[in-house]
Amino acid sequence: MRFIESFTPLHLIQHKLAGLSETELHLAPQGKWSVLQHLYHCWMVERGVLAYIKLKTQDPSALVPVSVVTRLKFAFFFVALRVGVLKIKAPDVVQQFPLEMSTADLMSKWEKTRSQADAFFLDFPEHDAKKGIFKHVFIGRINKKLTQQFLRLHLRHHLRICRL
């Protein structure tokens, strides 16, 4: 299975964006992000997670098992986020948007990131994939499967906010 297989396909996102005008793509309600800012943020998160995993898995002996408590925190985090009891401010690094944003530029970058993720995980050892390869700031160290689930749920959360 490809790493990105369970993610919302980019061609579906592009199709939904094609129905929006440039104004609708760039319109940022008071104190909120525009549609393109939400999607740039999602791409930056995917890119950042991949970079973190590439760095941290260089020394497989440093990887730790994922605890039951972490799995419970993961479930609680997304349930709380979904029902609205929890609101998280994104880290600064994933909310630094370019002054000029375009759908074409975003989709090109996003496709490249997803291709890199698939290539990286193609021969990734299964025993390492079960260990904590990514450290989420609130949840803790999560394995490959939970990382995929995090990225999928994170994107869905932002697509829902944008009504896409």
Average pLDDT on 60-74 reads: 95
Average pLDDT on 50-75 reads: 96
pLDDT of residue 86: 86
pLDDT of residue 71: 95
Average pLDDT on 63-91 reads: 92
Q: Is the pLDDT of residue 1 over 80?
A: no
Q: Are 12 and 116 in contact (CB under 8 A)?
A: no
Average pLDDT on 62-86 reads: 93
Q: Which residue has the tokens 């964006």?
A: 17
Q: Is the pLDDT of residue 43 over 80?
A: yes
Tokens of 118: 């698939």
pLDDT of residue 154: 95
* Rounded CA separation 135/64 (Å): 11
Greater pLDDT, 123 or 1: 123
Is the sign of the CA dihedral 149, 40, 29, 19 positive or negative? negative
Average pLDDT on 70-93 reads: 91
Q: Is the pLDDT of residue 15 over 90?
A: yes
Average pLDDT score over the chain: 95
pLDDT of residue 90: 87
Q: Is the pLDDT of residue 54 over 80?
A: yes
Indicate the pTM of the whole model.
Answer: 0.94
User: In the chain, what are the domains?
Assistant: 10-161 (1.20.120)
pLDDT of residue 52: 97
Chain Cα centroid distance, residue 102? 19
